[in-house]
Structure 1
Amino acid sequence: MTFYDIFTYLCTFTIIIPLAVFCLFPVIDHLKTPIRHLLIKISLVFVCYFVLLIIPYMIFQQDLGNILVFLAVPVFFYLFQKETNLMLPASLFVMLTACCLGSLSYVIYHTFGVIFHPHGQSTEFYPESMIAQLIFLVFADIILYKPARKYLGWMVTNFHNAFVWRIACIFPCCFTFLVFTYIPHNYYDIYTYHDLHVYFSMMLTLLVFVFLLYVLFYTIIHSYVENQYILEEQKILEIQAKEYSQLSQHVQETREIRHDFRHQITVISGLLNQGNYEELKEYLSQYESSISLQTKIYCRQPAVNAILSHYDLLCAQDKIKSKFAVDFPTLSPISSVDFCIVLGNLLENAYLECKTLQKYEKFIHLKARQTSPGAFVLLIENPYEHEIKKTDSGFFLSSRRKNCVGTGLKSVTAICKKYDGHLSIKTDNHRFKVKMFLQC
């Protein structure tokens, strides 16, 4: 065994490096550690991996390349999942997409082997094939950087249905399996049976098919997320319509009160002149109770005011102490629709939790205002008494949908990322506290 043998053996594993780089593209906004620190960790892992690869090679005296690559995939996935805050099925889909790309690079490898070594075999090492495979992966990383960030990154950020992600993992698995299944083991057989054009046609068909599946998957996910956003907007509009209806009713009541006010003055004046103070007191009490309370104005933005009024009314009906202090600027870079979605989801979660409380005082405290020309801060706090469950990736599980990731906080997280903000969630002493910072 020479140094050249060890070198060529290790070269067969270098394809893992560009594939690992590809895995980072869609999840770069979801990394738990800074990218520089992560690159150092990745480098150390690869050094350890290549050192460990030499041991079985020296023991068995043969190339176990493909076997060791497949055995390494679960280990790399575990390390990859630990460094991101994505749900496991979404991370798995990203990793399997990289495996798809890796299997395609093997098609390039064996294509060069068939062309330059017609009497060779797939198990042999060919330097020109290895170089072509690496060049393909490097160019693939460069070409796919923007699509992976824009489309795949958008999906893992905005779509959070674990079941659908699990189903979606099937087609990159199938593509990878089929590519490795149809690798020509003896290159000469392709020429003997005139199967060269059949092999390339089949690989091209598989590639086009899986590409169309990815496009279709993105289209479906994008439509679903957009529909969810529209439903959120409709919910806000319904609340606004209800608030405006209540406001119109209040205006009509005020108009009627003004019309009848002179009659009330006559009655009050008569009772006062007669010195009948007890009856006057009772009459004023009845008159006061007949007047509806004035609609509260929390801020100058009608949509935001409607959301706050809606939940303030619900809290009053269920004897929940609500304290809202919100100052949302009329002219703000933050969309009022986005801010209403944040408010609606956070207040809905807090209200539904307080509604079922048995042990603790029911209250919701909300503060939101622009603290500086480029910063908007929101704080909300409410008690809870059930067990707070989280996934390994840090996502909170819904208390109303068993073992499902809460969609409310996921929507809030997505909007927070949209404005380059920061979301902090703390649970201590049976208090659920959410703090959100948005750049505006």
Structure 2
Amino acid sequence: MNQVYLAEFIQYLCLIPAAAICFLPMKNQLKYSAKTTAGIAAGGITSLSLAGIFSTLSLGVNGDLVFFAVIIMCFVFYYRMVKCGLGEKLAIFFLAIALLSFMSDYAITVDAWIHPTENRSDSCVMATGVQLIFSVSLTLLLAHLLLKYGCRLVDQLFHARVWYVMIPAPLIFSAGNYVIQPRDYSHLYFGNMFFLYLFVLSGMFLLMLIIYVSFYFVAMELIQSLDQRERIQLMQMQEHQYIAQQTYIEESSRIRHDFRQSAITMLNLAEQNDVEALKDYLQSFVADLPQNEIRAWCRNLSVNALLNYYETLLEMYGVRRQWEISLSDCKISDNDLCSMLGNLLENVYHGCLTAKESERFHHFSVLLKNERDLYIVSSNSFDDEVRKKDGKYASSRKDGSGIGLSSIRITAEKYNGTARFSHDDKVFYIDVVMEV
């Protein structure tokens, strides 16, 4: 009797390598630390295993049904412990089940070779032990690939439909492995049935590996294609933004350049006591002046012009501002810096417009610390209506795509930094840190 319990327990232990296969690609998507996640997973699997063994051996419930119920409960735990979308969770979870189903069938092959007169329902410590060894070995072989390439897919492939497309494949292979399992090992000894079974099983395993390798390369091509299209859109936006900034700078420079000539003209009119002509000239001069006061936020002329432009824009729409700019010379190119700040302030502008005028505000800090780290922190009001597409924030405008936030992220990563976007109630947060 102890042998039966031990065999069942070892079989449930195979859920541990299955859990490892599930969590390794989710390294960057864990809600808790790796140690906490491992502890919760181990505790959950142990509890479910004991409950499953008790249901099967003490209550007489069908073992396959109990194991199926345990797998469902495992997915519930898994679902609550990772942050990515449902499509990714299902695709990775079913992949783990499919891989371990192959190891189960290979273990049955070994058991049938050694015990040809037994059947699958016989609880054998050796059979379940072989299954556990095969499962652990496969997990160790795939660990590096799952950490490197699996993580890359989960972190970069945000299209849920692509993940959902991959769900049927592991389900089909898992079902196929269950169907072809010999219930009575003696059936494998009719003619060449044993080697045919092994050939079919290995062929299915190889086919699944080919499908997933192909999926990886197709997915990476899709990611690169989308990134390329995104970068083209970013370049177009940057060009438009650059033209607007240059126009503002040139207009301000022209007015400052003409001021000396205007002062000479006004002096001549005053010396001639031509008061009416002087009034007319002053009215014309004032009309040509910029509507806002040009403030010296920093020594970078391009950034200064950009900040003055958006300060005027936000002022026009009643946005209360609290800005702190401390930006000295840095190695970030003017184009990249203006692109990032412009996209950020453009997002702030459109976000504030969605809020009630009395609630519009923007808190903004650009600080250079330790002469190497640039911190950009922004929080602005909005109407609390969040749109997301493929896990990313999308623009609240009908014609917008949220490409500006992607531009901020790409620029931050270019300088070994990070950009994080979040919201809470009616406040949208942008936090950027970069090496300069």
**TM-score (normalizing by structure 2):** 0.79
Are 2:19 and 1:20 aligned? Answer: yes
Q: CA deviation at 1:20?
A: 1.3
Deviation per CA, 1:212-251, whole angstroms, max 9, x where unpaired? 3222322233233333433443344334433443465567
SS in 1 for 2:118: coil
SS in 2 for 1:32: coil
Contact 1:103–1:179 under 8 Å retained in 2: yes
Deviation per CA, 1:26-47, whole angstroms, max 9, x where unpaired? 1222222222233332332233
The whole-number CA distance in structure 1 between the counterparts of 2:349 and 2:153 is 30
SS in 2 for 1:13: helix
Q: CA deviation at 1:48?
A: 1.9
- Name the aligned partner's letter for residue 110 of structure 1: I
**CA separation of 1:259/1:39 partners in 2, compared to 1, >3 Å: closer, same or farther?**
closer
Structure 2 unaligned spans of 5+: none
Which position in structure 2 is the counterpart of 1:53?
52
The whole-number CA distance in structure 2 between the counterparts of 1:144 and 1:401 is 44
Contact 1:382–1:432 under 8 Å retained in 2: yes
Q: Trace 1:113-192 onto structure 2 (pairs within 5 A).
A: 113-192=111-190
Are 2:424 and 1:427 aligned? Answer: yes
Which position in structure 2 is the counterpart of 1:242?
240
Deviation per CA, 1:239-283, whole angstroms, max 9, x where unpaired? 443344346556766787799778756643432122233532331
**CA RMSD after TM alignment:** 4.3
SS in 2 for 1:30: coil
- Name the aligned partner's letter for residue 54 of structure 2: I
Aligned length: 430
Which position in structure 1 is the counterpart of 2:73?
75
The whole-number CA distance in structure 1 between the counterparts of 2:409 and 2:261 is 57
Contact 2:353–2:382 under 8 Å retained in 1: no
Q: CA deviation at 1:380?
A: 0.9
Per mean C-alpha deviation after superposition, the further-off stretch among 410-419 and 187-196 is 410-419
Contact 1:22–1:145 under 8 Å retained in 2: yes
Q: CA deviation at 1:317?
A: 7.2
Q: Trace 1:243-392 onto structure 2 (pairs within 5 A).
A: 243-246=241-244, 249=247, 264=262, 267-290=265-288, 315=314, 320=319, 325=325, 327=327, 330-331=330-331, 346-372=344-370, 375-387=373-385
Contact 1:240–1:307 under 8 Å retained in 2: no
Deviation per CA, 1:417-438, whole angstroms, max 9, x where unpaired? 996868574525x333344556
The whole-number CA distance in structure 2 between the counterparts of 1:305 and 1:225 is 36
Deviation per CA, 1:152-173, whole angstroms, max 9, x where unpaired? 1112222223333222222222
The whole-number CA distance in structure 2 between the counterparts of 1:316 and 1:76 is 54
**CA separation of 1:230/1:342 partners in 2, compared to 1, >3 Å: closer, same or farther?**
farther
- Name the aligned partner's letter for residue 5 of structure 1: V
Structure 1 unaligned spans of 5+: none
The whole-number CA distance in structure 2 between the counterparts of 1:307 and 1:151 is 40
Which position in structure 2 is the counterpart of 1:106?
104
- Name the aligned partner's letter for residue 25 of structure 1: L
SS in 2 for 1:366: strand
- Name the aligned partner's letter for residue 239 of structure 2: A
The whole-number CA distance in structure 2 between the counterparts of 1:158 and 1:217 is 14
**TM-score (normalizing by structure 1):** 0.79
**CA separation of 1:314/1:4 partners in 2, compared to 1, >3 Å: closer, same or farther?**
same
The whole-number CA distance in structure 2 between the counterparts of 1:340 and 1:233 is 16
Contact 1:112–1:128 under 8 Å retained in 2: no
- Name the aligned partner's letter for residue 427 of structure 1: D
The whole-number CA distance in structure 2 between the counterparts of 1:335 and 1:265 is 34
- Name the aligned partner's letter for residue 193 of structure 2: D
Give the % identical residues.
Answer: 22
Which position in structure 2 is the counterpart of 1:37?
36
The whole-number CA distance in structure 2 between the counterparts of 1:301 and 1:266 is 30
The whole-number CA distance in structure 2 between the counterparts of 1:408 and 1:255 is 29
Q: CA deviation at 1:72?
A: 1.0
Deviation per CA, 1:75-129, whole angstroms, max 9, x where unpaired? 1111122222222221222211211211111121122133223343222234433
The whole-number CA distance in structure 1 between the counterparts of 2:84 and 2:383 is 27
- Name the aligned partner's letter for residue 331 of structure 1: K
The whole-number CA distance in structure 2 between the counterparts of 1:200 and 1:50 is 29
**CA separation of 1:208/1:268 partners in 2, compared to 1, >3 Å: closer, same or farther?**
same
The whole-number CA distance in structure 1 between the counterparts of 2:334 and 2:267 is 53
The whole-number CA distance in structure 1 between the counterparts of 2:250 and 2:387 is 48
Contact 1:381–1:431 under 8 Å retained in 2: yes
- Name the aligned partner's letter for residue 22 of structure 1: I
SS in 2 for 1:12: helix
Q: CA deviation at 1:199?
A: 2.7
